[in-house]
């Protein structure tokens, strides 16, 4: 199945009309660009000539979705043109159950984990909603839904679900309602207000940290690792890739001359970069040397870390790291086992790069974060008890006065014995000329000649 990227051609005002990638919002809607003309560019191998869509970002987004599903461009255009532009009549009113079913079916285009999250949230809202028709939903229904979420017991513990989960379910439900066009049926002042939203605990929690490894733990794992385990460990800690990005990485993604590795769309694996953002990361000479040694004669289109059993993509990377940690602990080292084994390397990548001078905005781009506050949470996991951190603190509190030259004072020497001593020190015992004697004196010292002298 072909994959396409939504791009736009803009007028920069200096006679140039470059193509730029269209950015997507958090609810996966394209951000309009004023005056732009939208195109679809194939990302698979072969012909990559952009396909012109037009100036309507909505039509371009519809064409992107339809063509990724294998439908021709003509069908995509008809699908967008057939959308109702006016308020539906009573006979065409849509029921809540129908809207929920349609959205859940469409959400299958997302990743498996994201799809399950949206499906759960929409089903919970449907179970809570007492309205029959979609256009009857109002602010009170959302407030009742929020109350049901906060009082709903968790399947695992039996206690009410945490506020973070409440926020995620509420957010996904709002995305569902906005996607189905709730704004056409309810006035802005009668809809959910900012004060009604649950608190995003993850953003408010200033002390939240992600689990990571220490430098000693990584060194212990590398010491006992075989070639595959060492290559995977160095790759994760040297690129900061997510586990899904590392699982689909191929040898062609590495540019050996520029010393970079890229995250790209992989339609054959059903992989899309998070937030649809491709990126390229600079990697170290140490990692390149390790990968060259590990590669042997693998072709460019081969996976860097294929599954040992199926030689394809699966969730085997966590199993490799889990076995490596057990091996290190059996050898006498102490390596803790975090909940997300591969993700802990990603956090370590961020903290080490930042400690070595990489600014936070560059880190955000390298990690593929859409929000810089997520990058800030990563940096909270830095080891503040290490000797290196202690040395930086001591250096920050060290103050010294720079050496400065004292101002020279003009001394007057009247004692004849001192005159002789000073002249002797500077290489002359006597001189008939006062100016000659003065030449051998230190700067700033001069004689006052008196008749007695």
Question: Is 68 a residue whose pLDDT tops 50?
Answer: yes
Question: Is 445 a residue whose pLDDT tops 50?
Answer: no
Task: Give the pLDDT band (50/70/90) at residue 257.
Answer: very high
pLDDT, one tens digit per residue, over 32-48 is 888 889 998 887 666 77
Report the Cα–Cα distance between both ends of the chain, in Å, rounded: 109
The closest alpha carbon to 338, from 374, 381, 399, 370, belongs to 381
Give the per-residue pLDDT at 296.
Answer: 84
Give the per-residue pLDDT at 29.
Answer: 78
Task: Give the pLDDT band (50/70/90) at residue 293.
Answer: very high
Partners of 234 in the β-ladder:
none
| Tokens (6 digits) for 390 | 């202690």
Asked whether the beta carbons of 425 and 442 are under 8 A apart, the reply is no
Give the per-residue pLDDT at 154.
Answer: 82
Give the per-residue pLDDT at 86.
Answer: 44
* 293-309 residues labelled b (16+ CB within 10 A) or e (exposed): ebeeeeeeeebbbbeee
pLDDT, one tens digit per residue, over 204-251 is 565 667 888 988 999 999 999 999 999 999 999 999 999 989 999 999
Question: Is 177 a residue whose pLDDT tops 60?
Answer: yes
Give the per-residue pLDDT at 158.
Answer: 82
Question: Is 17 a residue whose pLDDT tops 70?
Answer: yes
Neighbouring C-alpha atoms within 13 Å toward the C-beta of 136: 11
Give the per-residue pLDDT at 220.
Answer: 94
**Cα–Cα distance, 261 to 251 (Å, whole number):** 9
Greater confidence (198 vs 393) lies with 198
Question: Is 310 a residue whose pLDDT tops 90?
Answer: no
Greater confidence (163 vs 87) lies with 163
The torsion angles phi and psi of 132, rounded to 5 degrees, stand at -90, -45
Task: Give the pLDDT band (50/70/90) at residue 453.
Answer: very low
Greater confidence (4 vs 264) lies with 264
Distances (CA, A) of 228 to 293, 295, 326, 364: 10, 10, 16, 29
Pairing of the two strands 254-255 and 260-263: antiparallel
Task: Give the pLDDT band (50/70/90) at residue 124.
Answer: very high
Question: Is 103 a residue whose pLDDT tops 80?
Answer: yes
Contacts of 222 (CB under 8 A, 6+ apart): 230, 233, 234
Name the average pLDDT for the chain.
80
């Amino acid at each position: 199945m072909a994959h396409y990227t939504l791009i736009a051609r803009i007028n920069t005002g200096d006679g140039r009309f470059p193509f730029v990638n269209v950015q997507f919002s958090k609810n996966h809607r394209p951000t309009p660009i004023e005056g732009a003309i939208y195109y679809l560019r194939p990302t698979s191998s072969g012909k990559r000539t952009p396909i012109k869509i037009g100036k309507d970002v909505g039509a371009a987004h519809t064409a992107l979705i339809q063509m990724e599903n294998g439908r021709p461009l003509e069908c995509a255009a008809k699908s967008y043109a057939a959308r109702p532009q006016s308020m539906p009549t009573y006979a065409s009113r849509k029921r809540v159950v129908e809207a929920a079913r349609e959205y859940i079916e469409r959400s299958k285009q997302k990743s498996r984990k994201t799809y399950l999250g949206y499906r759960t949230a929409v089903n919970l809202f449907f179970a809570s909603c007492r309205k029959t028709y979609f256009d009857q939903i109002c602010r009170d229904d959302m407030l009742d839904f929020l109350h049901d979420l906060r009082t709903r017991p968790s399947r695992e513990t039996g206690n009410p679900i945490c506020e973070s989960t409440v926020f995620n379910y509420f957010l996904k439900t709002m995305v569902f309602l906005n996607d189905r066009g709730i704004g056409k049926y309810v006035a802005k002042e009668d809809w959910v207000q900012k004060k009604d939203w649950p608190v995003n605990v993850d953003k408010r929690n200033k002390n939240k940290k992600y689990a990571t490894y220490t430098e000693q733990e990584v060194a212990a794992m590398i010491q006992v690792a075989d070639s595959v385990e060492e290559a995977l460990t160095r790759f994760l800690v040297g690129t900061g890739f997510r586990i899904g990005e590392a699982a689909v990485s191929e040898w062609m993604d590495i540019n050996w001359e520029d010393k970079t590795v890229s995250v790209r769309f992989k339609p054959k694996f059903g992989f899309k970069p998070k937030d649809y953002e491709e990126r390229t990361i600079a990697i170290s000479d140490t990692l390149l040397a390790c990968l060259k040694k590990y590669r042997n004669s693998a072709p460019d289109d081969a996976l860097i870390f294929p599954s040992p059993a199926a030689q394809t993509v699966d969730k085997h990377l966590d199993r490799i790291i889990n076995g490596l940690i057990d091996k290190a602990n059996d050898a006498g080292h102490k390596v803790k086992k975090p909940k997300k084994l591969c993700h802990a390397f990603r956090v370590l990548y961020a903290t080490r790069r930042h400690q070595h001078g990489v600014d936070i905005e560059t880190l955000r781009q390298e990690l593929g974060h859409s929000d810089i506050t997520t990058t800030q949470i990563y940096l909270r996991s830095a080891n503040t008890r290490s000797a290196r951190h202690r040395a930086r603190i001591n250096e920050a509190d060290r103050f010294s006065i720079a050496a400065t030259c004292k101002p020279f004072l003009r001394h007057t020497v009247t004692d004849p014995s001192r005159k002789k001593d000073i002249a002797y020190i500077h290489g002359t015992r006597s001189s008939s000329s006062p100016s000659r004697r003065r030449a051998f004196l230190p700067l700033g010292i001069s004689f006052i000649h008196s008749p007695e002298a």
